Structure 1
Amino acid sequence: MLQLSALYRYPLKSCKPEVLQSASLDALGLSGDRRWMLVDATTGRFLTQRALPHMSQLSVLWNASGGVTLAAPGFQPLDVALPEDLPANLRGVTVWRDTLMVPDAGDAAAEWASAFIGKPTRVVHVPEARARWLPDGYGTVQDKVGFADGFPLLLIGQGSLDDLSARIGRPQEMLRFRPNLVVSGAEPYAEDGWKRLRIGSVELRVLKACSRCILTTIDPATGQRSADREPLNTLKGYRLKDNEILFGQNLVNDGEGRLEVGMPVEVLE
């Protein structure tokens, strides 16, 4: 039987995950997932572990009011309130090819983030009304996403990770791949063939395979890059298609609902 075996939320893009036993789904995926982001204070461009591996050591806890608590080794935790969506608070930011105006969390958050990152940095939040549309050709005219790279949800089969670990010859951490949903009980890469799922009362559409990058070579526990570029090197040997290394599937949820670890997963199509 297929079941939901793990749930992860990343309140701030490219930060440590929150390990959840249950989570609600809203119009942008998991409630509180990647609604916050760090950006270069001058350009507004988004910051991630790809260029700043030490972001893997940034812990961010989301609260029900929408605010977050920032914490990192050597830093005092800082509570950051949800900024008001007012014209005076708006800042222009860039995520890949998307540009948008979103509320800035203020100077105290910026000072904390700048000290952690090592250069002038701002902390921003995306309310649902200012979220981005999905990439052209995917989803429907209603489907939107917060600060995730392109899609609201990422699913990986536990069997796929187990197969990859066996090929490499050592266990690989699931969190290298930063999924929201982990499904156990399926054959390796079974998720490649799924189109629609139901978990609890929620239906989800599978939109496209996830293209992987250098971020997967960062050890989520230490922030250090793998000297042998694993797991990317091994994946390249058997998961390369159209010059993209594919692992996991991007999804969007149809409607709101609640997920709990242990729920059965039904493949509808």
Structure 2
Amino acid sequence: MQLAALYRYPLKSAIGESLDRAWVDGLGIRGDRRWMLVEADSGRFLTQRVLPQMTQLLARWKAEQGVRLRAPGMPDLDVPVPAEEAPLRRVSIWKDEPSAADAGDAAAEWLSQWLGRACRLVYLPPERARQVDLKYAEPGQRVALADGFPLLLIGQASLDDLSARVGRPLEMRRFRPNLVIAGSDPYAEDGWRRIRIGELILRPVKPCTRCIITTLDPDSGERSADQEPLATLARYRKSDKGVMFGQNLLVDGQGWLEVGMPVELLE
């Protein structure tokens, strides 16, 4: 088995970046989902679930400098990482309510104009990362602004099998993984407990519950009329927790990942 692809999502629910190499630590890929859109009044997080046009929004990670926003019909906008003294905003992401740094009026106006909805852009510094659900993690294991876990892994063979069942090729981008593994059997990742890639030990701890975002065309943002691939997944991958595809990971250690690295199954 080998690492076939790496993805980073600087802004939660916006376009991902395909990477050849990435630094990974306990929070996942450096720069992954450190930024998020929230409703201007409530602070509740916004995603493609309610704003399908976010499939067209690109936030290019620029390390400590911030992000560059790009969207159809809009001029590019560089947004710096908020200063330490920037105002904090209480936001909500599922059951968590972390305090995140507001990215300022220029970003908020740019995004609100493009989306046609009053929103704010926020940034979560590493020191404010959220505790991972203690049913699956130890105290001190944290996540930035991903739904619940630092990394998401999908086997390429699993997607190939799903595409065959649906009857058309499906883009991996619909499922927004960080890591894609080639050379395994379909859904083999369901049974993994520990894998090694380079210097990192990665621990699959929970299947990923899939939602309506998977029915959005990642290029156009249009929702599939036949509700695929969610409809097919629901016929053979549904549990009492929901429709499952992919595995959420915790990370032991830190180090570089590169596409092409061998993947060793430890447990």
Task: Specify the TM-score bucket, using the shorter chain as the normaliser.
Answer: over 0.9
Task: Tell me, in whole angstroms, the C-alpha distance in 1 between the residues paired with 2:83 and 2:97.
Answer: 20
1:173 is displaced (CA, Å) by 0.7
Show the 5 A alignment for 1:1-269. 2-65=1-64, 67-86=66-85, 88-269=86-267
Deviation at 1:100, TM superposition (A): 1.4
Q: Deviations over 1:166-213 (max 9, x none)?
A: 001100110110000000000000000000111011111111000001
The answer on whether the counterparts of 1:159 and 1:189 sit within 8 Å (CA) in structure 2 is yes
- In structure 2, runs of 5+ residues without a counterpart are none
CA distance in 2, matches of 1:220, 1:235: 18
Code of the residue aligned with 1:208 in structure 2: it is K
CA contact (8 A) 1:211 1:247 kept: yes
Bigger drift between 44-53 and 234-243 goes to 234-243
C-alpha RMSD over aligned residues = 0.9
Distance 1:93 1:142 in 2: 21
Q: Partners of 2:182 and 2:163 in 1: how far apart?
A: 15
Q: Which 4+ residue blocks in structure 1 deviate beyond 3 angstroms?
A: none
Q: CA deviation at 1:243?
A: 4.6
Instruction: Please report the TM-score for the alignment, with normalisation by the length of structure 2.
Output: 0.98
Look up the SS of the partner of 1:95 in the other structure: coil
Secondary structure of residue in 2 paired with 1:155: strand
Q: Answer whether contact 1:27 1:128 (CA < 8 A) is retained.
A: no
User: 1:124-163: per-residue Cα shift (whole Å, max 9, x none)?
Assistant: 0001111111123011112100110111100000000000
**Code of the aligned partner of 2:252:** D
* Per-residue CA distance 1:51-105 (angstroms, 9 max, x = gap): 100001001100121510000110000000000232x511110001111111111
Aligned partners of 2:117 and 2:231: how far apart in 1? 32
8 Å Cα contact 2:59-2:69 kept in structure 1:
yes
| CA distance in 1 between partners of 2:174 and 2:13 (Å) | 11
1:171 is aligned with what amino acid?
A: P
Q: Deviations over 1:219-265 (max 9, x none)?
A: 10110000000000000000011151000000011121110000000
User: Aligned to 2:99, what secondary structure does the other structure show?
Assistant: strand
Q: What TM-score do the two structures reach when normalised by structure 1?
A: 0.97
- Paired letter, 2:200: V
Number of aligned positions between the proteins:
267
- The unaligned stretches of length 5 or more in structure 1 are none
